[in-house]
């Protein structure tokens, strides 16, 4: 029976067409093929192979294979089917996420350079003639004779030696070949090898749990709940060694790109004897670097993969262990289709491939912790810091009092925090200051009439960035010139409100003159390697004060940091989200853990206008279990995760009423055949009512069974036509309710 292939066409669209497979062409799901598309050649990825459908028209034939080996392994195809079933996402969207754009297209290719290698040596008599008549040719032959590897042409003289190389090649004494050159994202880094540390009792217990899991045929996921500084990374390193000893491979997932340089350095230092067996995957790589790293993984050259959430799709064979560091982080949730959660996919992939998964954090998510209570996951606790240090002393400063002292001005530094910074600088110690808002000022507002300058595309105030002298929208990127008069009442009294990292940096430089201060946020890390270079200088003590957003709040280990200051702890506390308290507790606990990780005692100062908030008080006392008990009780009473699964249905359009009416229509249809146990909310405007010139309306559904929830939503969406200018999306296990 003739076969046909469903092919996902390369490009921005989700086009899938069927093609007939020529007899003898070994086409399998996951492989890349060349196909005719209208009047031009194109490339694509095979989603499935089936018997050729009977129809009134003949299918066009595939041209040939781009690569004989499938880019998507059978194991990953199983994972893709699971994602499609669970999240209700089309398979073509999932496969597109599996294969990076640099691999899907043919614009990026391997980098090569010309090199020379000895073909045969001339006779002694001929060599003497060459040494007298062509000294350049003689020197090239001497270099090649003394090398066991091909030598790049650039090292043999480059363009100036081209005539000599050509002559030697024509005589048959050497061959000119093309060598693949790896675009190494960590080129130039000096790595000093390290040896394994002696584990304490708690670390050894954690490692034993991983060893037992590796030996099990059906291993349970392990939650490693270790306080900040308890030595989780050393457990990761030694667990990785055990996996490598078994001949298997490891994926390490990180929530923030900020953690990548430090983690890569530690793993390269520990496993330097393996050679270059570590590959990196994250969005700060160039297209060429992504191409090379992905192909190293696919070929089996790399055995340890370190990357952000998309690294969960790495085509790594013989997988033995997946480590998810800081498993609680919302950054593991993909906000664009397919809207997967990398932590959950790590658990699923390990179940499908019968390997182990280790989830590590100092502040477990309530979903993961609840899985340990129900017996789905195994819990391993580490309650002591690895080096014997104690947790930092945490103080809370009421900024309402500080604001009165400073006569209503933006109180950025309290007296207590300022004096504490002075003390640390005098002792040649380092300070980390955390502020989760970038820019100079939160908004530009007119006090007489109350008008605030908003983005014309989004329903949020524009943030002032002093370095660019522009008002910038942090949602869509729209920029505007700073007006001198209020656009509404023409009053010149218009002024900036609030502050961000840019303003805080300017004030810090004025107060602490002579001390090197660095800022880390998305504005300062756009330049390639800027993040890595700043963290390296901070580790070398060239920088005294490091100010940054959440990219510095977790995972970083600097023994000379003895003071951490949280400039405004309230920014995440009052978000319109049931997880706001949990996120604030996690963020404060994580950033506090950067202090006192060496021999010197640490101190944390939290500035807040709501000092009696449970999230802040539990974080102050490092009391995870106290916070969890009261938070889980609240979630149980209101039927929120982890006791239910939550789905967010969002309708957006440039026409406000059409978006609202579409969601109201869907609400009625969802309500008609609502499965038992599902709680259906009402259509309401999103907290961010307008974004990218589109009005947004949403409704929430909650239920105990995720698949029932997903299928019900998908069945209604598939059966309900929507206006062309209205986009409706669903997000199962949503993390962003804005």
pLDDT tens string 532-563: 889 999 999 999 999 999 888 877 888 899 99
Backbone angles phi, psi at 668, to 5 degrees: -65, -40
Backbone angles phi, psi at 315, to 5 degrees: -75, 60
Chain segment 426-443, per-residue pLDDT in tens: 999 999 999 999 999 989
Chain segment 632-669, per-residue pLDDT in tens: 999 999 999 999 999 999 999 999 999 999 999 999 99
Backbone angles phi, psi at 75, to 5 degrees: -65, -40
Tokens representing residue 203 in the block: 């670390």
Q: Do residues 461 and 517 touch, judged by C-beta distance below 8 A?
A: no
Tokens representing residue 501 in the block: 């990292």
Q: Do residues 709 and 732 touch, judged by C-beta distance below 8 A?
A: yes
Q: Do residues 564 and 557 touch, judged by C-beta distance below 8 A?
A: no
Residue 1 predicted with pLDDT over 80: no
Distance CA 316, CA 48 (A): 21
User: pTM to 2 decimals?
Assistant: 0.89
Distance CA 447, CA 708 (A): 52
41-50, 120-129, 481-490, range with the lowest pLDDT: 120-129
Q: Do residues 360 and 253 touch, judged by C-beta distance below 8 A?
A: no
Tokens representing residue 273 in the block: 């004897």
Backbone angles phi, psi at 324, to 5 degrees: -110, 100
pLDDT at 627: 97
Distance CA 429, CA 560 (A): 6
Distance CA 185, CA 580 (A): 36
DSSP state of 452: B
Distance CA 511, CA 372 (A): 48
Residue 219 predicted with pLDDT over 60: yes
Q: Give kind and range of the element (H or E) at residue 307.
A: strand 304-307
Tokens representing residue 23 in the block: 């007899």
Average pLDDT estimate for 413-420:
94
pLDDT at 113: 84
Q: Which domains does the chain have, with CATH numbers?
A: 3-104 (3.40.1440.60), 201-382 (3.40.50.300), 393-438+501-634 (3.40.50.300), 441-498 (no CATH), 645-732 (3.30.70.600)
Q: Give kind and range of the element (H or E) at residue 332.
A: none
DSSP helix/strand/coil, 504: helix
Distance CA 227, CA 362 (A): 5
Among residues 297, 340, 342, the alpha carbon closest in space to that of 322 is found at 342
Tokens representing residue 663 in the block: 């969601």
Tokens representing residue 360 in the block: 């590590």
Residues 6+ apart with CB under 8 A from 163: 136
**54 pLDDT band (50/70/90 cuts)?**
low
DSSP helix/strand/coil, 732: strand
CB atoms within 10 A of CB 572: 21
Please tell me which residue, 553 or 619, carries the higher pLDDT value.
619
């Amino acid at each position: 029976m003739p076969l046909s292939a469903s092919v996902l066409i390369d490009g921005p669209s989700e086009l899938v067409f069927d093609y007939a497979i020529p007899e003898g062409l070994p086409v399998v799901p996951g492989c890349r093929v060349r196909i005719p598309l209208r009047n031009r050649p194109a490339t694509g990825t095979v989603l499935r192979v089936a018997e050729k459908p009977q129809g009134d028209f003949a299918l066009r034939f595939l041209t040939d294979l781009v690569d004989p080996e499938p880019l998507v392994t059978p194991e990953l195809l199983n994972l893709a089917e699971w994602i499609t079933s669970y999240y209700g996402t089309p398979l073509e969207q999932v496969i597109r996420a599996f294969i990076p754009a640099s691999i899907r297209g043919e614009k990026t290719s391997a980098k090569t350079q010309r090199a020379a290698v000895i073909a045969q040596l001339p006779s002694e008599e001929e060599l003497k003639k060459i040494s007298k008549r062509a000294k350049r040719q003689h020197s090239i032959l001497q270099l090649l004779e003394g090398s066991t590897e091909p030598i790049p042409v650039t090292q043999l003289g480059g363009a100036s030696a081209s005539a000599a190389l050509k002559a030697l090649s024509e005589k048959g004494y050497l061959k000119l070949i093309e060598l693949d050159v790896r675009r190494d994202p960590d080129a130039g880094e000096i790595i000093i090898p390290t040896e394994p540390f002696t584990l304490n009792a708690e670390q050894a217990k954690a490692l034993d749990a991983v060893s037992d899991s590796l030996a099990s045929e059906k291993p349970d996921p392990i939650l490693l709940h270790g306080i900040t500084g308890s030595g989780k990374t050393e457990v990761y390193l030694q667990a990785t060694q055990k996996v490598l000893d078994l001949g298997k491979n490891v994926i390490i997932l990180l929530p923030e790109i900020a953690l990548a340089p430090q983690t890569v350095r530690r793993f390269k230092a520990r496993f330097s004897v393996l050679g270059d067996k570590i590959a990196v995957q994250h969005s700060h790589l160039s297209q060429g670097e992504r191409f090379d790293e992905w192909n190293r993984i696919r070929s089996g050259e790399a055995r340890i993969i370190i990357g952000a959430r998309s690294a969960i799709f790495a085509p790594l064979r013989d997988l033995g262990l997946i480590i998810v560091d800081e498993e609680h982080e919302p950054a593991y949730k993909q906000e664009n289709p397919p809207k997967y959660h990398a932590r959950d996919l790590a658990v699923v992939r390990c179940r499908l491939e019968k390997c182990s998964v280790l989830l590590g954090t100092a502040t477990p998510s309530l979903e993961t912790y609840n899985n340990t209570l129900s017996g789905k996951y195994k819990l391993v606790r580490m309650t002591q810091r690895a080096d014997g240090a104690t947790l930092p002393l945490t103080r809370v400063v009421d900024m309402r009092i500080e604001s009165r002292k400073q006569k209503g001005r933006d109180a950025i530094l309290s007296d207590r925090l300022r004096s504490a910074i002075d003390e640390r600088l005098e002792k040649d110690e380092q300070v980390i200051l955390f502020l989760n808002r970038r820019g100079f000022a939160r908004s530009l507002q007119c006090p007489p009439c109350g008008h605030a300058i908003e983005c014309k595309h989004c329903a949020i105030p524009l943030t002032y960035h002093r370095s660019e002298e522009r008002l910038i929208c942090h949602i869509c990127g729209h920029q505007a010139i700073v007006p001198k008069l209020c656009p509404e009442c023409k009053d010149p009294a218009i002024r900036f409100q609030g502050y961000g990292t840019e303003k805080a940096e300017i004030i810090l430089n004025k107060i602490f003159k002579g001390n090197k201060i660095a800022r880390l946020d998305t504005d300062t890390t756009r330049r390639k390697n800027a993040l890595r270079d700043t963290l390296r200088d901070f580790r070398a003590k060239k920088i005294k004060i490091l100010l940054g957003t959440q990219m510095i709040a977790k995972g970083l280990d600097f023994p000379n940091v003895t003071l951490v200051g949280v400039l405004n702890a309230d920014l995440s506390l009052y978000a319109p989200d049931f997880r706001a308290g949990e996120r604030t507790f996690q963020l404060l606990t994580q950033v506090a853990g950067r202090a006192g990780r060496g021999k010197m005692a640490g101190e944390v100062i939290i500035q807040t206008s709501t000092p009696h908030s449970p999230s802040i008080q539990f974080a102050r006392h490092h009391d995870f279990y106290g916070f969890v008990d009261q938070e889980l009780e609240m979630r149980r009473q209101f039927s929120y995760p982890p006791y239910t699964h939550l789905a967010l249905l969002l309708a957006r359009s440039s026409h406000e009423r059409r978006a609202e009416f579409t969601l109201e229509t869907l609400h009625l249809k969802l309500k008609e055949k609502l499965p038992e146990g599902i709680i259906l909310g009402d259509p309401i405007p999103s907290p961010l009512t307008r974004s990218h010139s589109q009005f947004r309306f949403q409704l929430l559904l909650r239920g105990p069974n995720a698949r029932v929830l997903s299928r019900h939503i998908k069945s209604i969406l598939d059966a309900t036509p929507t206006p062309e200018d209205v986009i409706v999306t669903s997000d199962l296990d949503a993390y962003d309710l804005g």
